[in-house]
Amino acid sequence: MTALRQALVDYLAVRRALGYKLAREEQILPQFLDFVEGHGEPHVKTEAAVAWATLPARSDAWSSSRLRVVRGFATYLHAIDPAHEIPARDLLPSQSLRATPYLYSEQQITALIAAAGTLRTPHRVATIQTLFGLLVVTGMRIGEVVGLDREDFDAHNGCLVVRGAKFGKTRELALHPSTTTALRQHLRRADRPSPSSGTSALLITSVGTRLRICDVQRTFRTLTSRAGIVARSASCRPRVHDIRHSFAVATVLDGYHADADVGHRLALLATYLGHVSPAATYWYLSAAPELMQLAADRLQRHAGELS
């Protein structure tokens, strides 16, 4: 194993110890090292990094993303040996194309759940409706729901345990009694297949295997079409992840309507969503005009009371 290959192993180990999963880095950094070593270079150089990041030429965003991955590795290498160069941040810049959150109304959520009733088998109908129901009432990431095991559902105490989520965090989610009852009933369905060997998933397919995210996303696109849920603009299209945004906005809106302490609720919401800090939650709230208006009204009212 070359020094660069060993450094990559160490780099991934260090970052993962900090909670990062680095699936993409593990996939593409060896390709970068193939390129570097193929040119007989024992060190990472900016020229080589840019040349590799732009091959194959797909888009500015693609090249910028690849260079960003290399930059992280190069920063680690430079701390060990200054002969390694760190590509400047202004190389291959790319404008952020972050999607605008698609906030679902209650009517759209109802239509989506109803559309799931058109799926082929009763078990698949029940599974997809339960999955979307969990997304709606917990705001979990789709990967977190798919990753739930039977042991993660505590029916007695009415909670779910989300393990190994983003940044390696584990959290416990309290459930409304109606959600606990619905989950318990789903698990007791007579048509629930026997789990395949080695599968302990909470939600399973018709052949007893764990659901796959790509299949859920494909089903979601089919059901949004059947439910008449359409894109609002080129950057605001219905996505599974936007159910999480909708949950966050609805939670804060409830706080404003109840005249509650929204700051305290926001801190609780950040913990419930599995965010590192409330600051990471603000992006989820920025696309809701009603929420912005309520916040402005409360601020104006507070200013009036002070005067």
The verdict on whether 302 is a catalytic residue reads no
Give me the half-sphere count of Cα atoms (radius 13 Å) on the Cβ side of residue 201.
Answer: 24
Neighbour-count burial of 105, counting CB atoms closer than 10 A to its CB (0-12 exposed, 13-18 middle, 19+ buried): exposed
Q: Which residues of 143-173 are buried (b: 16+ CB within 10 A; e: fewer)?
A: ebbbbbeeebbeeeebebebeebbeeeeeeb
Active-site residue, selected from the candidate residues 71, 141, 186, 245: 141
How far is it, in rounded angstroms, from Cα 39 to Cα 203? 49
The verdict on whether 141 is a catalytic residue reads yes
The long-range contacts involving 24-32, CB below 8 angstroms and separated by at least 24 positions, are 24/69, 25/69, 25/72, 25/73, 28/66, 28/69, 29/69, 29/70, 29/73, 30/5, 32/66, 32/69, 32/70, 32/73
The dihedral formed by the CA atoms of 212, 213, 217 and 223, expressed in degrees to the nearest 10:
50
The verdict on whether 43 is a catalytic residue reads no
- E strand or H helix at 78: helix 60-80
The verdict on whether 265 is a catalytic residue reads no
Active-site residue, selected from the candidate residues 71, 84, 186, 275: 275
How far is it, in rounded angstroms, from Cα 95 to Cα 60? 9
Active-site residue, selected from the candidate residues 66, 123, 244, 245: 244
The verdict on whether 21 is a catalytic residue reads no
The verdict on whether 275 is a catalytic residue reads yes
Active-site residue, selected from the candidate residues 45, 166, 171, 239: 166
Active-site residue, selected from the candidate residues 163, 192, 237, 241: 241
The residues assigned a catalytic role are 141, 166, 241, 244, 275, 284
